[in-house]
Amino acid sequence: MTDMANGNFGQAHAVAQSDPQPVNGQARDGDLDTTDNSSRPIGVVLEIAGSGSQIALDLERLSECMADSDPSIGLAGQVGSQIKIRVGNSWLLASVRNQRQDRRANGGIIANIDFLGEGQEEKLTGRIHGFRRGVTRYPIPGALIYPATTEDLRQIYASDGRANVQIGTVYPTKDIRAGLYIDAMLGKHFALLGSTGTGKSTSAALILHRICEAAPAGHIVMIDPHGEYSAAFKQTGMIFDVSNLQMPYWLMNFEEHCEVLLSSTGNERQIDADILARCLLHARCKNRLAATMGKITVDSPVPYLLSDLSNEIKTQMGKLDKATSSAPFMRISNKLDEIKSDPRYQFMFSGMLVGDTMADFISKVFRMPSSGKPISIIDVSGVPSDITSTVVAVLSRLVFDFAIWGRDEKTSPILLVCEEAHRYVPNERNADGSSVGRILSRIAKEGRKYGISLGLITQRPSDLAEGVLSQCGTIISMRLNNDRDQAFVKSAMPEGARGFLDSIPALRNRECIICGEGVAIPIRVAFDNLEEVKRPASEDPSFVELWRQTGGEEEIVHRTVQRWRSQGT
């Protein structure tokens, strides 16, 4: 069959038709069942390289396989399908990356493949067992190629005993379950990517529901910028929004205070920051807690009164000589008064939040104890847009700082999931220098040392900060319509998975490619259907149906305007 390498497909096909040696090594001279496509070769290896190789495929054999009742054999040789190559007494599994016509041969196809792993051969059946990722022995040019069967794939995708959650079925089969290894996926972060309308939110809810079911005493914090996930987790999680979050303002560090209270730029901003640092430290030192702690800094999470900060600003302004401008003090004081009087900021800057509630707040938001509801949904859709990123920064930093200062306690790991991640960890082109980008980038790089897992969900991966996506050990990619996004994801993938990612533009809704630590080998998965009560409120509205409904429009407008005017009260 090595003549295939020289374009002689006729002889190769003759070998495929008459070879009396079935795949399982049990010779049945003159008795081969020619309908058994799994035991007859479909091609030959032409060229070997480290991560992938080139093969030649027999078009007539591929046509025969298409009619096979086994869907895995039916796709044999097609882009994204799996094929197997015998190497000694073991099988080497590979994925077909691309195809092109061999102009030197009539009816020949040349394809590139990516090696996925290897397994032993069951002598009785010829199937793969004991599959493991990576390659120890490579085939030689001329080695025969066979289609991988559904039973082969069942062995390959079978759990190796590690804790896992099942999220769907492996394409193209109908019954092989696709699992994610929880420890491997969360231990090295994960990213869920997909264009709008591909079922990304529902798939994220499905994965989180499965994790919650597997670990009802877990600790998951999800940042929800659009209020989609409240409906999905109202039974299994705690929902926090501006009405009940009650996040104390004094938890902010100095950098976050500057983002909220300083409106100046350039040299003026540095002058304002110096004034704010002095006044903020003085206000923190007035708390009785500060006296028991000894030395505190401007970043210490010690409660202080907003009135103390305001009074200190005015006191220092009163000490100025006539030559010094009072403008910086006035800017800070006016901004502080504006925030205190704005009802939209009451969830954070209320006078009721001055007590030392730090431990209670962390217990509540981090679900410690979880009481059977291991996930917190932080709905920031009602937070004023100018401080949304600061609120996310405070929550993210609390996760990180809690993990660092809790190392001696052997605290439970925390999963931080960030929807619309490109808004908070933007690339250099879109960066605004906000603290949230810095803390999430730091969690991506250092979090796993301290037991923090980061889950990033985004529809625009190319807008993410450079390096953040590459820190994610598991990437779950749904359909991406933008060429730049597709190229960005491929560049973050391990070499052996890139052929798989060529099929990203062709994925159906609620299908994905999963690569990395969370799976044994890259797989294409059709997600399970999620019960209606567990789905996020992200369904697209039906324009036709809604536009057919009439009546009550004036009352709807009136009620909407009332809510609009009374926001935050």
Beta strand segments in 256-315, E: none
The pTM for the full model equals 0.86
Write the CA distances from 57 to 5, 72, 152, 304, integer angstroms: 10, 16, 20, 74
Question: What span, in angstroms and rounded, lies between the C-alpha atoms of 47 and 120?
Answer: 23
Judged against a pLDDT cut of 90, whether residue 280 lies above it is answered with yes
Question: What span, in angstroms and rounded, lies between the C-alpha atoms of 305 and 287?
Answer: 8
Write the CA distances from 452 to 17, 219, 264, integer angstroms: 56, 10, 35
- Residue 531 DSSP label: P
> Who has greater pLDDT, 393 or 430?
393
Question: What span, in angstroms and rounded, lies between the C-alpha atoms of 76 and 98?
Answer: 13
Tokens at residue 530, please?
A: 């999620």
pLDDT bucket at 283, cuts 50 / 70 / 90:
very high
- Between β-strands 474-477 and 190-193, what pairing exists: parallel, antiparallel or unpaired? parallel
Handedness of CA 155, 156, 162, 166 (dihedral sign): negative
- Residue 230 DSSP label: T
What value does the mean pLDDT take over residues 289-297? 83
What value does the mean pLDDT take over residues 350-370? 89
pLDDT of residue 160: 74
Contact 395, 221 (CB under 8 A): yes
Q: Which of 96, 89, 92, 56 is nearest to 75 (CA)?
A: 96
> Who has greater pLDDT, 125 or 380?
380
Tokens at residue 532, please?
A: 């209606």
pLDDT bucket at 345, cuts 50 / 70 / 90:
very high
Task: Quote the Cα angle for 99-103-105, to 5°.
Answer: 100
pLDDT of residue 22: 43
Question: What span, in angstroms and rounded, lies between the C-alpha atoms of 24 and 301?
Answer: 68
* HEC readout, 183-206: HHHHHCCEEEECCCCCCHHHHHHH
Judged against a pLDDT cut of 70, whether residue 23 lies above it is answered with no
> Who has greater pLDDT, 497 or 133?
133
pLDDT of residue 493: 73
Judged against a pLDDT cut of 60, whether residue 360 lies above it is answered with yes
Judged against a pLDDT cut of 80, whether residue 306 lies above it is answered with yes
> Who has greater pLDDT, 36 or 387?
387
Region 177-248+355-539: CATH code: 3.40.50.300
pLDDT of residue 567: 65
Per-domain residue ranges of the chain: 43-157, 177-248+355-539, 251-345
Q: Which of 216, 542, 246 is nearest to 383 (CA)?
A: 246
Contact 221, 380 (CB under 8 A): no
Q: What is the pLDDT of residues 117-172, one digit of tens each?
A: 888 887 777 778 788 878 888 999 999 999 998 888 888 887 777 888 999 999 88
pLDDT bucket at 107, cuts 50 / 70 / 90:
low
Residue 481 dihedral angles phi and psi, to the nearest 5°: -90, -20
- Between β-strands 452-458 and 128-133, what pairing exists: parallel, antiparallel or unpaired? unpaired
Lowest mean pLDDT among 52-66, 71-85, 111-125, 329-343: 111-125
Strand order in the sheet with 375-379: 177-181, 164-170, 523-527, 511-516, 474-477, 190-193, 452-458, 414-419, 220-224, 375-379, 237-240
Lowest mean pLDDT among 156-160, 221-225, 293-297: 156-160
Give the number of other Cβ atoms within 10 Å of residue 122's Cβ.
16
- Hey, which of 90-99, 155-164, 384-393 has the most confident mean pLDDT? 384-393
